[in-house]
Structure 1
Amino acid sequence: MIIKKLLLSCLLFVITMGAVQAQSGASSLDPYANETVAERDARMEWFRVARFGMFIHWGVYAVPAGTHKGKKIDGIGEWIMSKGEIPMAEYQKYAKEFNPIKYDPEAWVKLAKEAGMKYIVITSKHHDGFALFDSKVSKWDVMDASPYGKDLIAPLAEACKKNGIKLGLYYSQAQDWNQGGSARGNEYKGKWDPAQEHDMDDYIKTIAVPQVKEILTQYKPAILWWDTPRGMNDERAEQFLPLLKLAPGIIHNNRLGGKYKGDISTPEQHIPGTGLPGDWESCMTMNKTWGYKSYDNKWKSTETLVQNLVDIASKGGNYLLNVGPTAEGLIPEPSIERLKNIGAWMDKNSESIYSTSASPCRTPAWGRITTLTKGKNTTLYLNVFDWPENGTIFLPITNKVMSCNLLVDKSQKYKTKTDEQGTTISLVGKAPDAISSVVVLKLSGKPVVSDADKIKQNKDGTVLLPAQKSIINNVIGSHVTYNKVNDCIDQWSNKKATVDWDFTVDKVGTYTISMHIASEEESAIELIIAGQTIQTKLPATGGFKSYKTVNVGEVVIDKAGDHSIHLKPTRDNWKPVNLQSVKLSLNSKK
């Protein structure tokens, strides 16, 4: 079951990842393939403590900044060469305008530190192949192709070391649109310039492997952030693995390719509904683009960014938040403003983020929970996003409460009441923080979770699955959310996003499944439950405020106990839907 997986992720954090690596058939070429659990714990410790880092996408693409020959090019800024199908000779001219004379690596690092970030990952070379360091195997780098003529990575590495920030380096090993590589373009359909026709194996051997050797030797990064695995078979990937020895203790991600899973999973532009097994990191943008794009002003609010950080930490992951500097070397002002605002929140509440692990129970409607275990006792940090009007919040934890107080003011104590169902906390006054108020709940022992928050079968045989208790699984580019005002999964428009519920039944038999929906157009969906698949159409209801209950089919549940239901859009026929609930009604007992 989904919630059980979350709990397993919390309790067997390291063992799970070790099993994943073992199952992947990791080769002895990976210097960490056969490390012990204790060795892995030691290597990953700083990453698990950090929880928050800065991603920097910077390169020649900051010069056109989303516009080529007077035309705005669709897509993310760093992909302009591909999306605009710009020939190599034309694109390379932009390097002559890449002159970041306002670059101040010390200021960048101090900004990250002020925001509460513990590490930085910068694009040493992105898909356009332009290296921000002095490469001896290519002249397509900042030293030889730009008027700036100085290494951009070295001073950043020095500033990171000076300020106690870990340095990570992103490297595009499989795509290089100016030096061969896989040179895959618009949605990976292929090359767009005959000059790109080169042998990928030759590129791996003569450019990619030597450049990775250069950056590992020169900068000794704490993280090597591969991107992307396309075209990377085992043989190609294995050429890079021995190089990891050049930076002892290095962490690398799951995007190298072949059968190699690396140390961390990297969901992009979304937060997994229940987190992921092992160590993981959600990388996300502040607006819509990674690389600088002058006209992308769709900035996320500070509230969203802080709550993303808390949400990710509550699921056991790290948050890698991106900035895209200009060609002059300036981080855009909206990014600076938001990072400073995040820092103001972190100054008061970072204790609820650093060193914490995932919540022991289901995500509550009022906010998120992070966990800190020391010795025999546990501290739960209750990040309250929605301060309750009735003054109480509940969590299904039955341990003896040792203390309960506001993080920013320990003198502000709260009354608690615990029974076999869980703990109710009586809060007072208005929300201390407009974004997230942190209540510290100290427990005796390790968390004991009751089944109070489980969705159980009613006496009449029905099972009601409300939107509020759904688990929404977003993917890259998907931002499907629960809308508490409208009490629904609001305009579920992305056909790749899926929704799950866990529930318990004590009666077996045939169940009719219905959905309470509102939509403007006819749609189609697939439901998977008890090993059975139902495919059905969903009618138009007259608009997003006009709800109707639609029967979608029947399913036989022949075993009492825990079950889950998975809702998956039928991609070719999916149109936006508002979903308030799913209901299972018992027709007949077996």
Structure 2
Amino acid sequence: MTRLAVLQPNMRTLLITSVLGAALAAAQPSADEAAREKRLEWWREARFGMFIHWGIYAVPAGEWNGKPITGLGEWIMNRARIPVGEYEKLASQFNPVKFNAEEWVRIAKDAGMKYITITAKHHDGFAMFGSQASKYNIVDATPFHRDPMKELAAACQKEGLKLCFYYSQTQDWHEPDADGNTWDFPDESKKDFAKYLEEKAKPQVRELLTNYGPIGMIWFDTPRIITKEQSQELATLVHELQPACLVSGRVGHGAGDYDSAGDNQISVGKVRREWETPVTMNDTWGFRKDDHNWKPATVLIRQLAQVVSHGGNYLLNVGPTALGEIPQPSVERLAEVGRWMKVNEQSIRGTTAGPFPYDEPWGVITSKKGKLFLHVFDWPREGMVLDGLKNKVRSAQLLAGGKVLDVSQRDENGFDALRIDTPATPPDLNDSVIALEIEGEAQVDPSLLQQPDGVVTLSAYMANLHKAAGSKMNLDSRGVISDWRSAGDWADWSFKVNHPGVFNVVLVTSEQKYGRGWDGGQHVVVEVGGKTLKKTVAAGGKQENPSNPYWPYVISRIGRVRLEKAGSYALSLKTSAIPANQKYGLTLVSVRLAPAK
């Protein structure tokens, strides 16, 4: 007999009421979480913003004493180890007479951006706003004597864009007590970081949130030595001064309102919560006169779609010159992005992640209630097939031109197959969007499915990881398995095939950023469909990585297997031996099974 059965009726009612009340309370978000959700509303709707890196580092523009300095434009003080006294002289040369806040805001708005995040203070410590906390600022220390942040605030309010401020809270190379300057202030034992935080960082954050009207976000960066308590103090300060203002994930220690991916990194797979990725248009953030490696508009548009398809925001950077002009190549690319957004805005703005746990071979999917938007990068030659969608499709229509497309749905060897009758040529070479109207909330087969082109892609982020004792094997923010350096580590996947046959098995691995390092030589064992393949990993070619172009992919051919019939399969990847002292180990992106020809 249960304890409840011997209670009197009124006691049972009290107990049941208490239990239900506790359950309902647990289901309700906390006050802090409810406030965070409210702050995120505009940001989720926006999806696309402009990042601006602008400061006195635009004067040397990547060159010091007549010599080019490697690295990012805004890091020249650090990379060239420029003494504070010498770097300060740049302020007297900074006079951006061509700065026009309304023009900058118009460029952003016409590109389809809904917010602007600008460097109020970068790591060099120079404030691009009038500050009482430090005279090392654009109003007091330059011949310009204007506050561009006030002008941007007015222009953003006029055009309906959110203004957000980047603020480097930990690194400040101008200050002896802050982090980062080891050439002027090498004795770490003499540094009082708390003093810097209280006397400069917090007062300047207070100024930014007091003097410029409603601010959408404070975009903190590089937390480094900041403590958990100090990160939380900054987040609390922001929310006390402006409760609707977001705090970026880089404030540190999970104190932000959302997560930030690494620079120029696009997260894949399922993410824990809202996220944003900052992306350069060329190779630098702050202006460099010798950086002409501009990404094509096609790459920018597709990256935007891919980020949003995984539930993220895309923050695209421009680096204005010392005269205050956004470089013309940036303006041209933003104009092309804007033309695409004008036609396809509904497939980006206010959308959520696609329903499938993986990207499609032809592109990506974004979602809204009752709609799916198919962003087709690689246009099909003979109609399009989408496997795994269980909802009835009411209609399909191209956003560019509005043409209604014929669709059919049927079972094909156990797969729910949607066929779309597409025209012979794509309406947009950058990204052609097909809007599907569906019945109900999107329901899909969550399994890894063989795609209509016959390929099975087993992405690292969908693997079951099995780690040996002491292993550092992990899944990084790009969805790549990193630090696979133990022979006891292994991974496995389950997947479905509806067109069996002979397949070439290929490993796709990642080089380090900018191609600076890759380890091969691992002895791998692949088991699938009752077959075993053994091979030593060797570079067999490169694969373009448009999502994260700074991390090239390497192809390694493992062998062939025959999958005899349609149905479910499992594949395991193990390492029987790994060369000693490998720096990176096996950096797995995916295992790919492609039909043998």
Q: Which runs of 4+ in 1 moved over 6 A?
A: 472-476, 517-522, 526-530, 541-547, 560-567, 575-580
Which residue, 494, 502, 505 being the options, matches 1:503?
Answer: 494
* Matching residue's letter, 1:236: Q
Determine the C-alpha separation between the residues in 2 that align with 1:526 and 1:175: 43
Task: Quote how far apart the aligned CAs of 1:355 are.
Answer: 0.7
Task: Select 1:182's aligned residue among 178, 182, 188.
Answer: 178
Separation (CA, whole Å) in 1 of partners of 2:334 and 2:475: 25
1:226 to 220, 228, 241: 220
Q: Would the alpha carbon gap of residues 529 and 254 (structure 1) be closer, same or farther in structure 2, given more than 3 Å must change? A: farther
SS of corresponding position for 2:420: strand
Shift of 1:246: 1.0
What is the deviation of 1:572? 3.4
Is 2:43 the counterpart of 1:47?
A: yes
Question: In 2 relative to 1, CA 98–451 (structure 1 residues): closer, same or farther, beyond 3 Å?
Answer: closer
Describe the shift of the 1:241–1:563 C-alpha distance in structure 2 as closer, same or farther (beyond 3 A). farther
The separation in 1 between residues aligned to 2:571 and 2:33, in whole angstroms, is 32
Match of 1:129 among 110, 125, 131: 125
Counterpart of 2:382 in structure 1 is 390
Deviations 1:515-560 (A, max 9, x none): 5689999714598999xxxxx9945467769965379xxxxxxxx9
1:109 and 2:105 correspond: yes
- Distance, in Å, in 1 between the alignment partners of 2:331 and 2:219 is 24
What is the match of residue 82 of structure 1? 78
For residues 214-260 of structure 1, the C-alpha deviation after alignment (integer angstroms, 9 at most, x for no partner) is 11111231101111211100332244234221112111111112452
Quick check: 1:309 aligned with 2:304? Answer: yes
Q: Indicate the residue corresponding to 1:549 in structure 2.
A: 558
Separation (CA, whole Å) in 1 of partners of 2:325 and 2:215? 23
Cα offsets for 1:43-79 (capped at 9, x unmatched): 2111001000000011011011000101111110100
Distance of 1:64 and 1:580 partners within structure 2: 43
| Structure 1 range deviating more: 144-153 or 170-179 | 144-153
Q: 1:204 aligns to what?
A: 197
| Structure 1: distance between partners of 2:555 and 2:448 | 30
Letter in 1 for 2:305: V
User: Contact 1:209–1:239 (CA<8 Å) still a contact in 2?
Assistant: no
Distance in 1 (alpha carbons) for counterparts of 2:107 and 2:51: 13
* Identical pairs, percent: 37
Shift of 1:267: 3.4
Q: 1:166 to 1:193 in 2, by over 3 A?
A: same
Partners of 1:372 and 1:389 lie apart in 2 by: 28
| Among candidates 250, 266, 270, match of residue 271 of structure 1 | 266
Tell me: CA distance 1:278–1:79, structure 2 relative to 1, closer, same or farther (3 Å): same
Cα separation, partners in 2 of 1:266 and 1:216, compared to 1, 3 Å: farther
- Secondary structure, aligned partner of 2:211: helix
SS at match of 1:281: strand
The aligned length equals: 502
Q: What pairs up with 1:490-529 in 2 under 5 angstroms?
A: 502-504=493-495, 523-525=520-522
RMSD: 4.0
How much has 1:454 moved relative to structure 2?
A: 2.9
CA deviations over 1:298-323 (Å, ceiling 9, x no partner):
11000000000000111111000000
- The verdict on how the C-alpha distance between 1:550 and 1:410 changes in structure 2, with shifts beyond 3 A counting, is closer
* SS of corresponding position for 1:169: strand
Structure 1 residue runs of 5 or longer lacking an equivalent are: 1-21, 23-32, 457-463, 481-491, 507-512, 531-535, 552-559, 584-590
What SS does the corresponding residue of 1:523 show, helix, strand or coil? Answer: coil
**SS of alignment partner, residue 360 of structure 1:** coil
Deviations 1:386-411 (A, max 9, x none): 11012223232021111111112334
Q: 1:93 to 1:143 in 2, by over 3 A?
A: same
Counterpart mapping for 1:89-108 below 5 A: 89-108=85-104
Does the CA contact (< 8 Å) of 1:465 and 1:501 recur in 2? no
User: Match for 1:380 among 350, 372, 377?
Assistant: 372
Bigger shift: residues 143-152 or 572-581: 572-581
- SS of the aligned residue for 2:208 comes to helix
Write out per-residue CA displacement over residues 478-510 of structure 1, whole angstroms, 9 at most, x where no aligned residue: 899xxxxxxxxxxx9x99xxx98842499xxxx
Which residue number in structure 1 is paired with residue 230 of structure 2?
A: 236
Q: Aligned-pair distance for 1:414?
A: 2.6
Q: Secondary structure at the match of 1:421?
A: strand
Q: Distance in 1 between matches of 2:555 and 2:520?
A: 15
Q: Report the CA distance between 1:268 and its aligned residue.
A: 2.2
2:283 alignment partner in structure 1? 288
- CA distance in 2 between partners of 1:69 and 1:344 (Å): 42
The corresponding residue for 1:329 is 324
**171-180 vs 445-454, which moves further:** 445-454
Q: Distance in 2 between matches of 1:248 and 1:40?
A: 9
Q: CA deviation at 1:149?
A: 1.2
Aligned-partner residue type, residue 523 of structure 1: G
The answer on whether the counterparts of 1:454 and 1:504 sit within 8 Å (CA) in structure 2 is yes
Instruction: Confirm whether residue 357 of structure 1 aligns to residue 352 of structure 2.
Output: yes
Q: Give the Cα–Cα distance (whole angstroms) in 1 for the partners of residues 177 and 571 of structure 2.
A: 46
Q: Give the whole-Å Cα distance in 1 for the aligned partners of 2:555 and 2:234.
A: 56
Determine helix, strand or coil for the equivalent of 1:572: coil
1:154 aligns with 150
Letter in 1 for 2:210: T
Give the match's secondary structure for 2:210: helix
Q: Which has the larger radius of gyration?
A: 2
* Superposition deviation, residue 102 in structure 1: 0.5
Deviations 1:371-425 (A, max 9, x none): 001xxxx100111111101222323202111111111233432323243523222
Q: What is the one-letter code of the residue matched to 1:310?
A: A
Counterpart amino acid of residue 304 in structure 2: L
Question: What is the Cα deviation at residue 436 of structure 1?
Answer: 0.8
Against the structure 1 CA distance between its residues 537 and 77, is the aligned structure 2 distance closer, same or farther, given a 3 Å change threshold?
Answer: farther
Counterpart code for 2:234: F
Alignment map for 1:400-439 (pairs within 5 Å): 400-419=392-411, 421-439=416-434
Among 560, 575, 582, the alignment partner of 1:572 is 582
Displacement after TM superposition at 1:470 (Å): 6.2
- The answer for unaligned runs of 5 or more in structure 2 is 1-25, 463-473, 498-503, 512-516, 528-533, 543-553, 561-567
Assess, with a 3 A threshold, how the Cα gap between structure 1 residues 283 and 85 changes in structure 2: closer, same or farther: same
Query: Whole-Å Cα distance in 2 between the matches of residues 575 and 259 of structure 1?
Result: 29
Residue type of the partner of 1:448?
A: Q
Identify if the C-alpha distance between structure 1 residues 99 and 479 changes in structure 2 by more than 3 Å, giving closer, same or farther. Answer: farther
Letter in 2 for 1:323: V
Contact 2:235-2:247 within 8 A present in 1 as well:
no
- Secondary structure of the 1:409 match is coil
Counterparts of 1:526 and 1:320 in 2: how far apart (Å)? 40
Q: TM-score, normalised by structure 1?
A: 0.76
